[in-house]
């Protein structure tokens, strides 16, 4: 079976779903192992059209922002590929978000509609949070929410049974679809342009607040096509996707890469190593995605129990630095001989560089690959901005179709990220070899990457400053064999105050995402500073590494 034929920059996501459904109607689009669900591309397209019509019937207009707060449930997929048919912009919500972060995202994004499940760790945790954010919800009629702090938010749609008060149910959306004709949907779909924003992902910012990255049809279709080419994906492939859909890793490198190549999406609703390995075995998956911590957990599970992973060929390991030994085990023990490594950031839709399936193993374990097709990459001096010779460290910059449209309602941050010549400045330090292969050597920014989650210290610091006993706080990342990095807090208390680690951890609980809550707490009287008084975070990191005995973790080799 041939690959779908289309031209990047000339097609929207909605049209692409139509095209694949027409070219290969009987090819499987989606297969879940748990719950047992499967759709051909023809069936999948019909569901997506119904979702689009349901949104129109609900009153959602082209260009409106709709948010989804859920793990990898089938409805996430239907919304991802249904909403672009009628032009609504999908805003993805991190499943770890709690009240403080959810309220900020809904407000900043001007979302009119929120799709949500009951919870991930507990069946009603999200319901409690949304009622905390919108106390009026339980007394509202579905579609008539009025909250002063969130003036745009009107509709909340519940995915699951036992719909809480004030919400529509997903079934209501599908029933509403009957009110809109095929002709009405086709007319809206034809009016859409590939250069319009269709996806918005929130990425933490050094200012302490997440920024909405605006991505167009062309941004993410082009990126997914190049990623699929680097993996040599085709309709013969089935890709196991345990990484969250709310990340570009899940919804671009995963689901969209399958669509552009006619491959089958095999999502895992919630990551558990045994669930992933059973899905690979039962569905005979040929590809598997994951951050290093996921692959480590899967390899540990394979040591305890027997799984047949012989169908595996390829996949992507990304999201945080990839330990070389783990990469070798994935190739040798899991059988994914053509596994690739990808590097990028949300602002680049997200992949900038990737290794190729037939690169020598030495390159695939020691670099993050070379630029994707039609993507420019250069390394510049961080002081002068001039391009540096091969083999010299500098900041990695990239330019091309994949660079975001900008940050939503934040022109200043957009100008700081993308220069006048169109180069996106990543803030990452890298070295490029004579063949264009890059190695990430550090970060100009002090971002922490914990198990594939980007964490900006400033965001946690801003939150902890609100504690009445805290005078000052500095957040740093400490090396971790398991997660790559973990969060450590250096706390200065106000004069005469006493506080415990448990007290501060409790203060964070349910207010900020659990992965941002510091794993380690140090109470100090002063911070190391430069002569001008600037706090030296690298010294705090070194001190935490020493106090925790993590010197060996810091030596783990990564690509």
Q: Which residue among 182, 211, 240 closes a domain?
A: 211
Q: Which residue among 211, 240, 267 closes a domain?
A: 211
Reported as a pLDDT band with limits 50, 70 and 90, residue 34 is: very high
Residue 29, class by beta-carbon neighbours within 10 Å (0-12 exposed, 13-18 middle, 19+ buried)? buried
pLDDT of 87-138, one tens digit each? 999 999 999 999 999 999 999 999 999 999 999 999 999 999 999 999 999 9
What does the longest C-alpha to C-alpha distance in the chain come to? 73
| Secondary structure class of 488 (helix, strand, coil) | strand
| Secondary structure class of 43 (helix, strand, coil) | helix
User: 157 with 170: CB under 8 angstroms?
Assistant: yes
Q: Residue 47 is part of a domain; what is its CATH number?
A: 3.40.50.12780
User: 489 with 464: CB under 8 angstroms?
Assistant: yes
pLDDT at 358 over 50: yes
Reported as a pLDDT band with limits 50, 70 and 90, residue 206 is: very low
In a domain, 218, yes or no: no
In a domain, 226, yes or no: no
Q: Which residue among 211, 230, 264 closes a domain?
A: 211
In a domain, 232, yes or no: no
Q: Any idea which residue has 């009026």 for tokens?
A: 136
Q: How far apart are CA 516 and CA 194, in angstroms?
A: 36
* Helices and strands, number each (H, E), in the chain: 18, 26
In a domain, 121, yes or no: yes
Tokens of 343: 């590097």
Which pLDDT does position 534 carry in this prediction? 65
**Count of alpha carbons within 13 angstroms of residue 548, beta-carbon side:** 25
Continuous H helices in 232-339? 248-251, 255-261, 273-283, 292-304, 324-332
User: 351 with 327: CB under 8 angstroms?
Assistant: no
pLDDT of 399-434, one tens digit each? 999 999 999 999 999 999 999 999 999 998 899 999
The residue segments making up the domain with residue 146 are 13-211
Which pLDDT does position 438 carry in this prediction? 97
In a domain, 352, yes or no: no
In a domain, 305, yes or no: no
Structural domains in the chain (count): 2
Which pLDDT does position 373 carry in this prediction? 95
In a domain, 509, yes or no: yes
- Please, what is the Cα angle at 418 between 413 and 422, to 5 degrees? 155
Q: Residue 524 is part of a domain; what is its CATH number?
A: 3.30.300.30
Which pLDDT does position 209 carry in this prediction? 79
pLDDT of 514-542, one tens digit each? 999 999 999 999 998 765 566 888 889 99
User: 418 with 211: CB under 8 angstroms?
Assistant: no
In a domain, 427, yes or no: no
């Amino acid at each position: 079976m041939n690959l779908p034929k289309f031209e990047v920059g000339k097609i929207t996501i909605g049209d692409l779903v139509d095209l694949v459904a027409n070219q290969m109607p009987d090819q499987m689009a989606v297969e879940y192992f748990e719950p047992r669900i499967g759709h051909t591309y023809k069936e999948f397209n019909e569901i997506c059209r119904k979702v689009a019509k349901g949104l129109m019937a609900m009153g959602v207009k082209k260009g409106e922002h709709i948010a989804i707060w859920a793990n990898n449930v089938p409805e996430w997929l239907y919304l991802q590929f249904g909403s672009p048919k009628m032009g609504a912009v999908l805003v993805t919500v991190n499943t770890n978000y709690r009240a403080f972060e959810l309220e900020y995202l809904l407000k900043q994004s001007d979302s009119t509609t929120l799709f949500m499940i009951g919870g991930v760790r507990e069946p009603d945790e999200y319901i409690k949070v949304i009622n905390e954010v919108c106390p009026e919800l339980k007394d509202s009629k579905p579609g008539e929410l009025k909250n002063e702090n969130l003036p745009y938010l009107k509709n909340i749609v519940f995915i699951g049974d036992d719909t809480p008060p004030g919400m529509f149910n997903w079934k209501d959306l599908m029933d509403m679809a009957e009110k809109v004709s095929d002709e009405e949907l086709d007319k809206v779909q034809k009016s859409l342009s590939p250069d319009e924003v269709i996806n918005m992902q929130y990425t933490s910012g050094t200012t302490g607040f997440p920024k909405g990255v605006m991505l167009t049809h062309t941004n993410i279709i082009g990126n997914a096509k190049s990623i699929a080419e680097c993996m040599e994906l085709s309709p013969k492939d089935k890709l196991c996707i345990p990484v969250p859909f709310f990340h570009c890793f899940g919804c671009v490198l995963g689901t969209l890469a399958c669509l552009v190549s006619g491959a089958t999406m095999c999502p895992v609703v919630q990551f558990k190593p045994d669930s992933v390995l059973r899905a690979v075995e039962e569905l005979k998956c040929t590809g598997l995605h994951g951050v290093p911590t996921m692959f480590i957990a899967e390899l540990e599970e394979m040591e305890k129990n027997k799984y047949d992973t012989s169908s595996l060929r390829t996949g992507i390991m990304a999201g945080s630095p990839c330990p070389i030994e783990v990469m070798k085990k994935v190739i040798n023990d899991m059988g994914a001989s053509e596994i690739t490594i990808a590097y990028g950031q949300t602002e680049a839709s997200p992949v900038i560089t990737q290794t190729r399936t037939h690169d020598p193993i030495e390159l695939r374990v020691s670099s993050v690959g070379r630029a994707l097709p039609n993507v420019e990459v250069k390394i510049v001096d961080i002081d002068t901005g001039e391009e540096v010779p091969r083999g010299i460290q500098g900041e990695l910059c990239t330019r091309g179709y994949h660079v975001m449209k900008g940050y939503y309602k934040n022109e200043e941050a957009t100008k700081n990220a993308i220069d006048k010549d169109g180069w996106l400045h990543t803030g990452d330090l890298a070295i490029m070899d004579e063949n264009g292969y890059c190695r990430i050597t550090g970060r100009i920014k002090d971002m922490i990457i914990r198990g594939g989650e980007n964490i900006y210290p400033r965001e946690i610091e801003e939150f902890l400053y609100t504690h009445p006993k805290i005078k000052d706080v500095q957040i740093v990342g400490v090396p971790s064999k398991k997660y790559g990095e973990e969060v450590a807090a250096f706390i200065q208390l106000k004069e005469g105050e006493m506080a415990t680690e448990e007290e501060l951890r409790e203060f964070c609980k349910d207010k900020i995402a659990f992965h941002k809550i510091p794993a380690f707490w140090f109470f100090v009287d002063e911070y190391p500073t430069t002569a001008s008084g600037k706090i030296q975070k690298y010294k705090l990191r070194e001190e935490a590494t020493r106090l925790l005995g993590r010197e060996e973790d810091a030596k783990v080799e990564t690509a």
